[in-house]
Amino acid sequence: MSRTDAILSLANVECAYGPVKALRGVSLRVAKGQIATVLGSNGAGKSTILKTISGVLDPVRGSIKFKGEDIAGMEPARIVQRHLSHVPEGREVFPLLNVHENLLMGAYTRKDADGVARDLEQVYGYFPILKERERQPAGLLSGGQQQMLAISRALMAAPELILLDEPSLGLSPKLTKDIFDIVVRINRERGTSILLVEQNANMALQVADYGYVLENGRLVMEDRCERLRERDDIRQAYLGGHATGAHQKRRPNPRRLA
Protein backbone atom coordinates (compact mmCIF):
# COMPACT_ATOMS: atom_id res chain seq x y z
CA MET A 1 0.00 0.00 0.00
CA SER A 2 1.44 3.39 -0.93
CA ARG A 3 1.46 6.31 1.48
CA THR A 4 -0.69 8.41 -0.83
CA ASP A 5 -3.73 6.13 -0.95
CA ALA A 6 -4.21 5.77 2.82
CA ILE A 7 -7.33 7.38 4.27
CA LEU A 8 -6.05 6.46 7.75
CA SER A 9 -2.51 5.97 8.97
CA LEU A 10 -1.14 5.35 12.45
CA ALA A 11 2.56 5.76 13.16
CA ASN A 12 4.17 4.47 16.37
CA VAL A 13 1.02 4.99 18.46
CA GLU A 14 1.24 4.20 22.15
CA CYS A 15 -1.64 4.30 24.61
CA ALA A 16 -1.92 3.43 28.29
CA TYR A 17 -4.52 2.83 30.99
CA GLY A 18 -2.75 4.43 33.93
CA PRO A 19 0.56 2.58 34.37
CA VAL A 20 -0.47 -0.24 32.01
CA LYS A 21 0.68 0.25 28.42
CA ALA A 22 -2.06 -1.02 26.09
CA LEU A 23 -0.58 -0.14 22.68
CA ARG A 24 3.13 -0.33 21.93
CA GLY A 25 4.31 1.44 18.80
CA VAL A 26 1.33 0.52 16.61
CA SER A 27 1.62 1.52 12.94
CA LEU A 28 -1.02 0.63 10.38
CA ARG A 29 -2.82 2.00 7.33
CA VAL A 30 -6.26 1.69 5.81
CA ALA A 31 -6.49 2.47 2.10
CA LYS A 32 -9.38 4.39 0.61
CA GLY A 33 -12.22 2.01 -0.15
CA GLN A 34 -10.59 -0.87 1.73
CA ILE A 35 -11.79 -3.16 4.50
CA ALA A 36 -8.92 -3.77 6.91
CA THR A 37 -9.12 -5.97 10.00
CA VAL A 38 -7.19 -6.34 13.25
CA LEU A 39 -6.98 -9.85 14.71
CA GLY A 40 -5.90 -10.77 18.21
CA SER A 41 -6.92 -12.50 21.40
CA ASN A 42 -8.96 -10.89 24.18
CA GLY A 43 -6.94 -8.18 25.87
CA ALA A 44 -4.54 -7.75 22.98
CA GLY A 45 -5.56 -4.10 22.54
CA LYS A 46 -7.81 -4.29 19.48
CA SER A 47 -10.61 -2.13 20.85
CA THR A 48 -8.05 0.29 22.27
CA ILE A 49 -6.84 0.99 18.73
CA LEU A 50 -10.34 2.03 17.66
CA LYS A 51 -10.96 4.12 20.78
CA THR A 52 -7.66 5.93 20.28
CA ILE A 53 -8.45 6.69 16.64
CA SER A 54 -11.93 8.02 17.45
CA GLY A 55 -10.71 10.23 20.30
CA VAL A 56 -12.23 8.28 23.20
CA LEU A 57 -8.67 7.70 24.45
CA ASP A 58 -5.68 10.01 24.03
CA PRO A 59 -2.45 8.45 22.77
CA VAL A 60 0.70 8.83 24.85
CA ARG A 61 2.69 9.34 21.66
CA GLY A 62 2.54 8.77 17.93
CA SER A 63 0.51 10.23 15.08
CA ILE A 64 -2.96 9.36 13.77
CA LYS A 65 -3.67 10.86 10.37
CA PHE A 66 -7.11 10.81 8.79
CA LYS A 67 -7.25 12.18 5.24
CA GLY A 68 -3.82 13.68 5.87
CA GLU A 69 -4.77 15.56 9.05
CA ASP A 70 -3.34 14.54 12.42
CA ILE A 71 -6.33 13.84 14.66
CA ALA A 72 -4.44 12.35 17.62
CA GLY A 73 -6.00 13.67 20.83
CA MET A 74 -8.76 15.55 18.99
CA GLU A 75 -12.22 15.70 20.59
CA PRO A 76 -14.49 12.85 19.38
CA ALA A 77 -17.18 15.27 18.14
CA ARG A 78 -14.67 17.04 15.90
CA ILE A 79 -13.50 13.70 14.53
CA VAL A 80 -17.08 12.72 13.66
CA GLN A 81 -17.46 16.04 11.83
CA ARG A 82 -14.53 14.98 9.65
CA HIS A 83 -16.58 11.95 8.54
CA LEU A 84 -15.12 9.21 10.71
CA SER A 85 -17.65 7.08 12.62
CA HIS A 86 -17.08 4.56 15.42
CA VAL A 87 -19.46 1.65 16.11
CA PRO A 88 -18.34 0.56 19.59
CA GLU A 89 -18.43 -2.91 21.08
CA GLY A 90 -21.75 -3.57 22.81
CA ARG A 91 -23.83 -1.44 20.38
CA GLU A 92 -24.57 1.38 22.85
CA VAL A 93 -27.82 2.58 21.29
CA PHE A 94 -29.97 5.18 23.06
CA PRO A 95 -32.46 2.77 24.67
CA LEU A 96 -35.25 5.25 25.47
CA LEU A 97 -35.23 6.82 22.00
CA ASN A 98 -37.02 5.05 19.18
CA VAL A 99 -35.23 3.69 16.12
CA HIS A 100 -35.95 6.77 13.99
CA GLU A 101 -34.68 9.11 16.70
CA ASN A 102 -31.50 7.04 17.14
CA LEU A 103 -30.81 7.34 13.42
CA LEU A 104 -31.32 11.09 13.45
CA MET A 105 -28.86 11.33 16.35
CA GLY A 106 -26.29 9.89 13.98
CA ALA A 107 -26.89 12.80 11.61
CA TYR A 108 -26.66 15.55 14.23
CA THR A 109 -23.55 17.11 12.62
CA ARG A 110 -25.17 17.42 9.20
CA LYS A 111 -27.01 20.38 7.65
CA ASP A 112 -28.04 18.75 4.35
CA ALA A 113 -31.64 17.73 5.01
CA ASP A 114 -32.07 16.15 1.57
CA GLY A 115 -28.92 14.06 2.03
CA VAL A 116 -30.05 12.95 5.47
CA ALA A 117 -33.40 11.84 4.04
CA ARG A 118 -31.66 9.87 1.27
CA ASP A 119 -29.34 8.17 3.72
CA LEU A 120 -32.25 7.34 6.00
CA GLU A 121 -33.99 5.52 3.16
CA GLN A 122 -30.74 3.78 2.24
CA VAL A 123 -30.16 2.38 5.73
CA TYR A 124 -33.78 1.23 5.85
CA GLY A 125 -33.00 -0.53 2.57
CA TYR A 126 -30.01 -2.27 4.15
CA PHE A 127 -31.99 -3.23 7.26
CA PRO A 128 -35.76 -3.36 6.49
CA ILE A 129 -36.53 -4.54 10.02
CA LEU A 130 -35.49 -1.10 11.27
CA LYS A 131 -38.12 0.50 9.05
CA GLU A 132 -40.73 -1.83 10.50
CA ARG A 133 -39.61 -0.96 14.05
CA GLU A 134 -38.84 2.73 13.51
CA ARG A 135 -41.21 3.90 16.28
CA GLN A 136 -40.12 1.21 18.75
CA PRO A 137 -37.74 2.15 21.61
CA ALA A 138 -34.27 0.93 20.78
CA GLY A 139 -33.96 -0.73 24.17
CA LEU A 140 -36.70 -3.18 23.18
CA LEU A 141 -34.93 -4.40 20.03
CA SER A 142 -33.17 -7.74 19.91
CA GLY A 143 -29.38 -7.83 20.08
CA GLY A 144 -29.08 -8.30 16.33
CA GLN A 145 -31.47 -5.44 15.63
CA GLN A 146 -29.54 -3.18 17.98
CA GLN A 147 -26.35 -4.00 16.08
CA MET A 148 -28.09 -3.12 12.82
CA LEU A 149 -29.20 0.15 14.41
CA ALA A 150 -25.71 0.96 15.67
CA ILE A 151 -24.22 0.46 12.21
CA SER A 152 -27.02 2.43 10.58
CA ARG A 153 -26.61 5.31 13.05
CA ALA A 154 -22.93 5.48 12.13
CA LEU A 155 -23.85 5.60 8.44
CA MET A 156 -26.13 8.57 9.06
CA ALA A 157 -23.03 10.70 9.74
CA ALA A 158 -22.01 10.11 6.08
CA PRO A 159 -18.66 8.62 7.09
CA GLU A 160 -15.74 8.05 4.77
CA LEU A 161 -14.31 5.61 7.34
CA ILE A 162 -16.14 3.40 9.85
CA LEU A 163 -14.45 1.83 12.87
CA LEU A 164 -16.40 -1.36 13.56
CA ASP A 165 -15.80 -3.10 16.90
CA GLU A 166 -16.94 -6.71 17.35
CA PRO A 167 -20.13 -6.55 15.25
CA SER A 168 -20.86 -10.27 15.72
CA LEU A 169 -20.62 -10.23 19.52
CA GLY A 170 -23.47 -12.26 21.00
CA LEU A 171 -25.13 -12.93 17.65
CA SER A 172 -26.15 -16.22 16.05
CA PRO A 173 -24.16 -17.50 13.06
CA LYS A 174 -27.01 -16.54 10.70
CA LEU A 175 -27.26 -12.99 12.05
CA THR A 176 -23.49 -12.70 11.93
CA LYS A 177 -23.50 -13.62 8.25
CA ASP A 178 -26.34 -11.17 7.57
CA ILE A 179 -24.46 -8.34 9.31
CA PHE A 180 -21.25 -9.02 7.42
CA ASP A 181 -23.08 -9.25 4.09
CA ILE A 182 -24.35 -5.72 4.72
CA VAL A 183 -20.91 -4.52 5.81
CA VAL A 184 -19.50 -5.69 2.48
CA ARG A 185 -22.38 -4.00 0.61
CA ILE A 186 -21.72 -0.73 2.44
CA ASN A 187 -18.07 -0.91 1.45
CA ARG A 188 -18.75 -1.82 -2.19
CA GLU A 189 -21.78 0.41 -2.84
CA ARG A 190 -20.82 3.50 -0.86
CA GLY A 191 -17.03 3.21 -1.13
CA THR A 192 -16.82 3.53 2.65
CA SER A 193 -13.50 2.42 4.13
CA ILE A 194 -13.79 0.12 7.16
CA LEU A 195 -11.42 -0.81 9.98
CA LEU A 196 -12.84 -3.95 11.57
CA VAL A 197 -12.08 -5.54 14.93
CA GLU A 198 -13.69 -8.96 15.20
CA GLN A 199 -13.28 -12.07 17.37
CA ASN A 200 -14.68 -14.20 14.54
CA ALA A 201 -11.36 -14.26 12.71
CA ASN A 202 -12.59 -16.59 9.98
CA MET A 203 -15.37 -14.20 9.02
CA ALA A 204 -13.11 -11.16 9.30
CA LEU A 205 -10.52 -12.68 6.97
CA GLN A 206 -13.24 -13.62 4.49
CA VAL A 207 -14.64 -10.09 4.13
CA ALA A 208 -11.53 -7.93 4.65
CA ASP A 209 -8.85 -7.06 2.11
CA TYR A 210 -5.91 -6.60 4.47
CA GLY A 211 -5.21 -7.86 7.97
CA TYR A 212 -3.06 -7.08 10.99
CA VAL A 213 -2.29 -9.39 13.91
CA LEU A 214 -1.99 -7.79 17.35
CA GLU A 215 -0.39 -9.45 20.37
CA ASN A 216 0.07 -7.74 23.74
CA GLY A 217 -0.38 -4.30 22.23
CA ARG A 218 2.10 -4.85 19.38
CA LEU A 219 1.44 -5.59 15.72
CA VAL A 220 3.40 -8.73 14.92
CA MET A 221 2.21 -9.49 11.41
CA GLU A 222 0.38 -7.97 8.46
CA ASP A 223 -0.54 -9.19 5.01
CA ARG A 224 -3.36 -9.51 2.50
CA CYS A 225 -6.16 -11.56 4.02
CA GLU A 226 -6.04 -14.32 1.44
CA ARG A 227 -2.39 -14.91 2.37
CA LEU A 228 -3.10 -14.80 6.10
CA ARG A 229 -5.81 -17.44 5.67
CA GLU A 230 -3.24 -19.77 4.10
CA ARG A 231 -0.74 -19.58 6.96
CA ASP A 232 -0.62 -22.59 9.31
CA ASP A 233 0.14 -20.43 12.36
CA ILE A 234 -2.85 -18.16 11.70
CA ARG A 235 -5.16 -21.14 11.17
CA GLN A 236 -3.95 -22.73 14.39
CA ALA A 237 -4.11 -19.59 16.51
CA TYR A 238 -7.28 -17.92 15.21
CA LEU A 239 -9.23 -20.16 12.84
CA GLY A 240 -9.54 -23.34 14.90
CA GLY A 241 -7.28 -25.24 12.52
CA HIS A 242 -5.71 -28.56 13.44
CA ALA A 243 -1.96 -28.81 13.15
CA THR A 244 0.43 -31.59 13.94
CA GLY A 245 4.07 -32.01 14.67
CA ALA A 246 6.21 -28.91 14.85
CA HIS A 247 3.24 -26.64 14.07
CA GLN A 248 1.01 -27.85 16.89
CA LYS A 249 1.78 -25.09 19.41
CA ARG A 250 3.08 -22.52 17.01
CA ARG A 251 1.98 -18.88 17.36
CA PRO A 252 2.29 -16.23 14.64
CA ASN A 253 5.90 -15.21 14.19
CA PRO A 254 6.70 -11.58 15.09
CA ARG A 255 7.36 -10.48 11.56
CA ARG A 256 5.68 -8.42 8.88
CA LEU A 257 5.13 -9.61 5.39
CA ALA A 258 5.18 -7.34 2.34
Closest CA to 197 of 178, 223, 225, 169: 169
**H or E element: which one contains 79?**
helix 76-81
Q: What is the mean pLDDT of each run of 10 residues along the chain (258 residues)?
A: 76 95 97 96 93 97 97 95 94 94 95 96 96 97 95 96 94 92 95 94 95 95 95 85 37 41
Across the beta sheet with 6-17, the strand order is: 20-31, 6-17, 61-66, 69-70
Contact by Cβ (8 Å): 105, 96: no
Q: What is the pLDDT of residue 248?
A: 35
For the question of whether the overall pTM of this predicted structure is more than 0.85, the answer is yes
- The C-alpha atoms of residue 69 and residue 199 are separated, in whole angstroms, by 30
Closest CA to 160 of 81, 247, 47: 81
Q: What is the pLDDT of residue 240?
A: 67
Residue 220: how many other CB atoms lie within 10 Å: 17
Q: What is the pLDDT of residue 12?
A: 97
Q: What are the CB-based long-range contacts (under 8 Å, 24+) for 122-130?
A: 122/155, 123/152, 123/155, 123/156, 126/152, 126/155, 126/182, 126/185, 126/186, 127/151, 127/152, 127/182, 130/99, 130/103
Q: What is the pLDDT of residue 241?
A: 52
Q: What is the pLDDT of residue 238?
A: 83
Q: What is the pLDDT of residue 95?
A: 96
> How many residues does this entry show for the chain?
258
Q: Which domains does the chain have, with CATH numbers?
A: 1-74+191-258 (3.40.50.300)
